[in-house]
Structures are given as C-alpha cells and as structure tokens.
Amino acid sequence: MPRRALLAVAAGVLAAAAIPFLLDDFLVSLALSCLMYVALATSWAMFSGATRYVSLGTSAFFGLGAYVSAWSLSALPWPVVVAGGAMVAAVFAALAGSAILHLRGTYFAVLTFGMSELVRHAITYGEKQYAGTVGRVLTTVPSNRTVYYTLLVVAAAALTAAVLVRASRLGLALDGIGADEQRAQTLGVPTRWVKVVGFALSASFAGAAGATMAVRWTYVDPAAVFNPFIGLQTVLIAIVGGAMSLGGPVLAAIVFSLLAEFLRLQFPYVYLIVLGVLLIVAVLYLPHGLAGLWSGRADVPWRRASSP
C-alpha cells in the first residue's frame, strides 16, 4: 500500500517539476500557490485529520518560518534557511503543544488560533523594540525557479512523510487517539508524547513552506505572513478534500488555489462565499470530503461526537 502511494507521489512530483519549462510565469505562480496549499493541507491532515484535534495554528508555523527566512536569508545558505524555518516551527509547536494538547475540540481550536495571534504580536513587538521596524524588505532573494523547486521539495516531503506516517506505528497511534484517546492510552499508547511529536512534525512542513514563500513576497511583515486566513484556508481545504485521506487534501488544494485565483480576478467577494458554502456542504454531507466520493465511505466521523 505505501509503495503505491509513494509511486503516485513520485509521479506527481515529476509532473510538477516539468511545469516551469512548459508554462508561462503567471501559470507557474499559480502552480506555486497550489504547491503551498498541498504542503500545508497535507501536513495539517497528517496530524489533525488523524487525531481530530482541529488546529488553527498553521499561520503561526507558516509565519515563524517566514520570519526565520527574513532574519537569516542574507547570512545562511538557502537550504539551511528553509530547514531552519521547519525546525523553529517544529520546536515552537512542540513547546506550545505540550501546554495545550490536553485540551480537545473547540478549546484546542480556539487556543491554537490564540497562539497564532500571540506569536504575531510577539514578533511585531520584538521587531519594533529591537530592530526598529515592523516589516522587512528582502533584497537578495533566490530566483523564482529556485523558489518553485524548493516548494516542490517541501510539498513532496510533506506527502512522503504523510504516506510513511500512515504506514507506521506513529500513524496507528494517531488514528487511535482520533478514535478514542483514553482507550488508546489504556492499550499502551503514550498519548501525550505521540500528540506532541505529531503536532511538531506537521508544523515543520508549514514552517518550511513559510520560509520558502517569504522570499517570493520580498516584503515580510507580521500582518501578511501571520495572516489567519492562511490557517483557515488550510483547514477548509483539508476538510473539504477529506482530512482522513491522502489524495483528498491534494486535490482540494489544487482546485481551491485555481478557483481562488479565478474568482479573485473576476468576482473578488464571491470567493469567500464559495469557500464558506463548500465548508458547510462538506461538513454536513461529505464527512470524508471529496475523497469520500470515490472511496464510497458513508459514516460521519466529525459528527459522531454528538451522537449518543
């Protein structure tokens, strides 16, 4: 099973690798946005899809990665910058996770949202205090092609990690936590440790994506890189696509990025309305997301908590 999924990932990566040679700049930047959400939604689903701990913290990890990039780009080689973004996000997720992962449901979701705001304000304050500025202009940035291939590597790594985690004992433990956390613990799962590791692993890819995308924007400021919309859209994409599946979030990330671009140009406000309607439809009628349409699953995990 993992071999087939890994082959599919490899095929997808090869196809995406050809894009800069075949398409014009506008379409390549569209593909870049697809890749960003593939990385974000896949890594989100890796932890939150399995455990059903809905995290709104993606923007915190993404923004931290972006700032690591802004701080270190001129001093460090590019791969180290991206890896640094991943590492800082993972360490932060591990610390924050240790403090809040004992809470479930709405409490966890609200706290992860609060966590993103906290990081944003802390960085704003720190930058004002010590650097005397809020935004940073990145002057010498890698070429667009380098950025594209870096993000492709990040997305491929997220997908590969997702496949391997699902086939591993860690993935089984995360599934058990999602199904019944106490039961999993009484069967020997060190739930606290598993949750922190899963949360940190998931955050590392968002951090790497943030570090990569920062150079694309050339101007980094807290409002842009800690934009809560990035976190919300990641959750929407993963849920609409089917957070329990591998292919669902990938498909939804591509559809949404294209849809977003099209609607933003043609009807700016309609995009958010479409997004909201799709989420409602997905939660009510497609519990396994778009992925549920082709795997034909019928039960409703997101709503099970409310049934007797």
Partner 1 sequence: MTAPLLAARGIVVRFGGLTAVDRVDLEIEDRTLIGIIGPNGAGKTTFFNALSGLVTPTAGRLVVGGDDLTRKPAHVFARAGIARTFQTPRVFADMTVAESVRFGLEFAGRWRRAERASLAGVPPILDFLGLGEAATLPARALTPARQRLLEIGMALATRPRVLLLDEVGAGLTEVEVENMARLVRRCRDELGLAVVWIEHAVAVLLPAVERVIVLHQGRTLAEGAPTAVTRDPRVIEAYLGEHVGGAEGRP
Output 24 or 299, the one with its CB closest to partner 1: 299
What is the token pair recorded at 149?
Answer: 């291939």
* 182 vs 266, beta carbon nearer partner 1: 182
Among 278, 207, 198, 247, smallest CA distance to 38 is for 247
**Least CB distance to partner 1 at residue 135 (A):** 45
The least distance separating partner 1 from the CB of residue 171, rounded to whole angstroms, comes to 11
What are the phi and psi torsion angles at 220 (to 5°)? -115, 120
Residues of this chain that interact with partner 1 (CB under 8 A) are 169, 172-173, 175-176, 179-180, 182-192, 299, 301, 304
Give min distance, CB of 175 to partner 1, in A: 8
Give the nearer residue to partner 1 in terms of CB position, either 77 or 190.
190
* 70 and 138 Cβ atoms separated by less than 8 Å: yes
Which residue, 117 or 180, has its beta carbon nearer to partner 1?
180
Residue number with CB closer to partner 1 (102 or 121): 102
Q: How far is CA 22 from the centre of its chain?
A: 27
Rounded to a whole number of angstroms, the minimum distance from the CB of residue 177 to partner 1 is 10
Residue 114: CB minimum distance to partner 1, A: 26
Of residues 194 and 206, the one with the C-beta less far from partner 1: 194
* Residue nearer to partner 1 on the CB measure, 49 or 57: 49
- Sequence letter at residue 66: A
**CA pair distance 250, 30, nearest whole angstrom:** 15
Q: What would the DSSP string read from start to end of 187-209?
A: TT--HHHHHHHHHHHHHHHHHHH
Query: Which segments of the chain does DSSP mark as H helices, in order?
Result: 2-22, 25-44, 50-51, 58-72, 78-100, 105-126, 144-167, 169-186, 191-217, 222-225, 228-241, 247-266, 270-285, 289-295, 301-304
* Cross-strand bridge partners of residue 220: 136
Q: Which amino acid is at 161?
A: A
- If one counts every other C-beta atom within 10 angstroms of the C-beta of residue 217, the result is 15
CB of 112 to partner 1, least distance (A): 23
Q: What is the SS3 assignment for 130? A: helix
Q: How far is the CB of 46 from partner 1 (least distance, A)?
A: 17
